[in-house]
Amino acid sequence: AQSVTQLDSHVSVSEGTPVLLRCNYSSSYSPSLFWYVQHPNKGLQLLLKYTSAATLVKGINGFEAEFKKSETSFHLTKPSAHMSDAAEYFCVVRSPNFGNEKLTFGTGTRLTIIP
Amino acid sequence: DGGITQSPKYLFRKEGQNVTLSCEQNLNHDAMYWYRQDPGQGLRLIYYSQIVNDFQKGDIAEGYSVSREKKESFPLTVTSAQKNPTAFYLCASSEGLASYEQYFGPGTRLTVT
């Protein structure tokens, strides 16, 4: 079984300040982890993914995330927020299942950027 | 341009009517998926298909049906048996079920009154 918990439903930061979106997961096996971003009324776009290589993963638009097995966490960070970062962010877990892997989505974190 | 198209973007139906949502991809992907998104919830898997003429129920398949007659197309029918059909529906595809990345379409917002 696998699950993912996004600890904050809404995060507000000022433009130019750091962003931290928190995600904890559970998985019976070594998971793959993803962050997706969704702008209003749009589909989801992959920001970054962890697939058992380097624990610090760099993604698009300056985002990065660190896989911490001991803490079962995969938090998303960005050093300096931009207005265009305002969107909904989803943490996603995927466990090995013999070619029948499915994604489990968190409930999302809405990021608001204050000018 | 390669990608996934969903049409229409907005769809309105009366209660009791079946409605079919379109999903087409030109990525040559074998696997396709349908998700439902409700406010404050993550995406939930409705149906998925690993290959043409084969599909499997996801976590919330009741009241929905699909077909996969062509590799590039995976239409979803929302039947009158679906108790709460109003939602945002997202189609996705991947190279295979074991692929790491799913690519998403822009979604269709269905409103049933």
Measure CB to CB from residue B97 to each of A42, A51, A99 and give the nearest one: A99
pLDDT for the residue numbered A102: 79
pLDDT for the residue numbered A77: 98
The pLDDT tens digits for B52-73 are 999 999 989 999 999 999 999 9
Residue A54 has pLDDT above 90, yes or no: no
The pLDDT tens digits for A57-100 are 999 999 999 999 999 999 999 999 999 999 999 999 987 766 56
Tell me the DSSP string of B21-73: EEEEE-S--SEEEEEEE-TTS--EEEEEEEETTEEEE-TT-TTEEE--SBTTB
By C-alpha distance, the chain B residue nearest A4 is B42
Q: Which residues of B84-94 are buried (b: 16+ CB within 10 A; e: fewer)?
A: ebebbbbbbbb
CB contact at 8 A, B56 and B82: no
pLDDT for the residue numbered A99: 59
Q: Which DSSP state fits A85?
A: G
Higher pLDDT, B79 or B97: B79
The pLDDT tens digits for B11-36 are 999 998 999 999 999 999 999 999 99
Mean pLDDT rounded to a whole number for chain A: 91
CB contact at 8 A, A48 and A58: yes
Which two tokens mark A107? 């409930």
pLDDT for the residue numbered B10: 93
Distance from CA of A33 to the nearest CA of B (A): 9
Please indicate whether, in this complex, the C-beta atoms of A49 and B102 are within 8 angstroms of each other: no
pLDDT for the residue numbered B41: 82
